[in-house]
Amino acid sequence: MSLYPHRGMVQDRQATIKLKLRQQKRDEIERQQLAKQLGIDTKEVR
């Protein structure tokens, strides 16, 4: 455990933000792959 709990909270928040970004990126990639499979232009999906 950290001696500075407030620092840990800041790091947790940053980790949460990074996780959300990673999930958004993964969703975007999945959407593009689906579009390719269905033969749809990726610009139309957005």
Please check the confidence at residue 21 and state whether its pLDDT lies above 60: yes
Average pLDDT, whole number, for the chain?
80
In the chain, the amino acid numbered 38 is: L
* Residue 10 pLDDT exceeds 80: no
Overall pTM surpassing 0.75 (yes/no): no
For the cut 60, the answer to whether the pLDDT of residue 30 exceeds it is yes
Length of the chain counted residue by residue: 46
Amino acid residing at 40: I
